[in-house]
Amino acid sequence: MTTPPVHLSTWPTPLDPAPRLAVALGLEPGDLWLKRDDLTSFAGGNKVRKLEHLVGEAEAAGATVLVTTGGVQSNHARMTAAAAAVRGLSSVLVLTGAADAARPGNLALEELFGARVVLVPPGEDAQARIAAVTVELRDAGEVPAVLPLGGSTPTGARGYLACAGELAEQAPDLDTVVVAVGSGGTMAGLVAGLGAERVLGVDTGAVPDPAERVTELATALGATVGGLRLRRDQVGEGYGALTEAGATAMRTAARTEGLVLEPVYTGKAMAGLTAAVADGSVRPGRRTVFLHSGGLPGLFGHPYAAELASRALGSA
Q: At a CB cut-off of 8 Å and minimum separation 6, what does 228 contact? A: 191, 196, 199, 201, 211, 214, 215
Q: What are 26-40's pLDDT values in tens digits?
A: 999 999 999 999 999
Across the chain, what does the average pLDDT equal? 96
Is the pLDDT assigned to residue 263 strictly greater than 90? yes
User: Is the four-CA dihedral 114, 95, 54, 211 of positive or negative sign?
Assistant: positive
- What global pTM score does this model have? 0.96
Instruction: Report residue 117: phi and psi, to 5°.
Output: -105, 130
Work out the pLDDT band at 141, boundaries 50, 70, 90.
very high
Catalytic residue among 74, 91, 152, 183: 74
Is the distance from CB of 273 to CB of 288 less than 8 angstroms? yes
| The pLDDT value given to residue 104 | 93
State the number of CA atoms in the 13 A half-sphere of 12 facing the CB: 17
Annotation marks residue 293 as catalytic? no
